[in-house]
Amino acid sequence: MIDWPLEVYRTLKKAQVRQVGYVPDAGHKRLIELCLADRALEAVVLSTEEEGIGLAAGAWLGGARSALLMQSSGVGNCINVLGMVRECRFPLLMLVTMRGEHGEFNPWQVPMGQATPAVLTAMDVAVHVARTPEEVTPMVDAAARLAFGSYQAAAVLISQRVIGIKSFQEQSAR
Amino acid sequence: MKATLRRREVVKALLRERGRLLVVAGLGSTAWDCTAAGDSALTFPMWGAMGTAAMVGLGLALAQPKRRVLVITGDGEMLMGLGSLATVGARRPANLSVVVIDNERYGETGMQETHTSRGVDLAATALACGFREAMGVGAREELAGLRKAIHAGRGPLFAQVKVSAEKLAPVLPPREGSVLKARFRRALLGPKSDLD
């Protein structure tokens, strides 16, 4: 199986991303570890996802590209502040690991997971969906080009099929 | 104790001879205060995204470690993003200051009381979150020291400045977000920023 977190990390580096805001998530665990180990990257742990929208805006004002890592439940926390991204035309690259989508075991995750693409679309964020490990890196590359080349908000939704969490026991064992 | 400082005078004193200082102004009255002190391309006044001013300051401070960054915001705006104090405290950027102009009111919505009117201590919160220094300010004589710390102290610095609850005529900066963003980047990064 391909090491998509490593490939995504390399794609972010190639896109000259210098700041990575994140809220910890099991699906992003390895990518976060790779970012934390890179002293040339500012990896900033957030207490809630909307902080990351502010962080990305400030980074761009200061001339730095950034990426924002979160789980789909965090997308809902970003809705209002995504208005700033659209109004100011800040580039924004969001990598979202999905829950409540493909074989979810926790019913409380389902409403936000199912609504995630619609919520992002409603706030003018271009949605890319990666359904297989092979699709993740090309989609992150395309989303980064869209964000920084065309000053857009772009999200890559990484399907639960890719992450492969099937039960609570499996999740906590990671 | 009744606050006697006046917000416009406080912000004007803090932004006097601002030099290379980069400023993020939280939405509402603090954005008007910063504009009243003199509109500047190196001020990013926010018209929305309530609760994220300190985080915009953090992203900017990390992107520009050689510049001083000052976030000036209101107590209501800060309360909406209280977690960002923890996020700043966890990262501890030495070049970031957050100053809350605290009138204990939501000024734009009818002067309703905020949590700070009931004793919530934002400076103590910031200190507990890991800010290197956090102070409460209530007297005019303290402003020069605060201004000096913003320019030369080791951050992250937090100040909660108690001001009287007065409703003032707004002094408006430009409204369009993309204009505010572009003018800030040009002033900071030069015309080449348009080509990034």
- 3-state DSSP call for residue B137? strand
**Res. A44: pLDDT tops 80:** yes
**Res. A165: pLDDT tops 70:** no
Q: Considering chain B, what is the average pLDDT of its residues? A: 97
C-beta of residue A52 within 8 angstroms of C-beta of residue A68:
yes
Of B47, B60, B189, the CB nearest to A58: B60
Higher pLDDT, A26 or B174: B174
Lowest mean pLDDT among A128-132, B2-6, B64-68, B98-102: B2-6
In CATH, the architecture of B7-195 is: 3-Layer(aba) Sandwich (3.40)
A63 interfacial to chain B (CB closer than 8 Å): yes
Contact A54 B56 (CB under 8 A): yes
- What mean pLDDT is predicted for residues B26-46? 98
Residue A92's closest CA among A56, A62, A133, A132?
A: A56
- Pairing mode of beta strands A42-45, A17-22: parallel
For A138, the token pair is: 């090309």
Q: Where are the domains of chain B?
A: 7-195
- What mean pLDDT is predicted for residues A118-137? 98
Chain A positions touching B193 (Cβ under 8 A) are 63
pLDDT digits (tens, 9 = 90+) for A61-98: 999 999 999 999 999 999 999 999 999 999 999 999 99
Q: Which of A61, A86, A92, A152 to mutate to test the interface with B (most CBs of B within 10 A)?
A: A61
C-beta of residue A46 within 8 angstroms of C-beta of residue A55:
yes
A48 interfacial to chain B (CB closer than 8 Å): yes
Closest approach of B179 to chain A, Cα-based (Å): 7
For A129, the token pair is: 């969906």
Q: Which residue of B has its CA nearest to A148?
A: B196
Helix axes B7-14, B29-36, angle to 10 degrees: 60
A44 interfacial to chain B (CB closer than 8 Å): yes
Torsion angles phi and psi, residue B72, rounded to 5 = -115, 120
Cα–Cα distance measured from residue B66 to residue A166, given in angstroms and rounded to the nearest whole number: 47
Contact A61 B61 (CB under 8 A): no
Cα A85-A86-A90 angle, rounded to 5 deg: 45
Q: Which residue of A has its CA nearest to B83?
A: A47
Torsion angles phi and psi, residue A9, rounded to 5 = -55, -45
Inter-chain CB pairs, A–B, below 8 Å: 124
Alpha helices by DSSP H, listed for chain B, are 7-14, 29-36, 53-63, 75-80, 83-91, 122-128, 143-152, 177-189
- What mean pLDDT is predicted for residues B167-185? 97
* ipTM value > 0.90: yes
Instruction: Identify the pLDDT of residue B196.
Output: 87
Chain A positions touching B92 (Cβ under 8 A) are none
Residue B192: HSE in the Cβ half-sphere, 13 Å Cα cutoff: 2
Cα–Cα distance measured from residue B71 to residue B58, given in angstroms and rounded to the nearest whole number: 9
Residue A138 CB contacts under 8 Å (≥ 6 apart), including other chains: none
Cis bond leading into B156, ω under 30°? Answer: yes
Cα B55-B57-B61 angle, rounded to 5 deg: 120
Closest approach of A132 to chain B, Cα-based (Å): 32
Environment class of B61 (CB within 10 Å of its CB; exposed 0-12, middle 13-18, buried 19+): buried
Query: What is A4-173's CATH number?
Result: 3.40.50.970
Instruction: Identify the pLDDT of residue A166.
Output: 67
Chain A positions touching B196 (Cβ under 8 A) are 63, 148
Contact A89 B177 (CB under 8 A): yes
C-beta of residue B161 within 8 angstroms of C-beta of residue B5:
yes
Q: Where are the domains of chain A?
A: 4-173
B51 interfacial to chain A (CB closer than 8 Å): yes
Chain B positions touching A90 (Cβ under 8 A) are 181
What's the Cα-to-Cα distance from B175 to each of A24, A78, A137, rounded to whole Å? 35, 22, 38
**Res. B12: pLDDT tops 90:** yes
Q: Considering chain A, what is the average pLDDT of its residues? A: 95
Contact B177 A58 (CB under 8 A): no
C-beta of residue B97 within 8 angstroms of C-beta of residue B155:
yes
Q: Which of A55, A66, A80, A82 to mutate to test the interface with B (most CBs of B within 10 A)?
A: A55
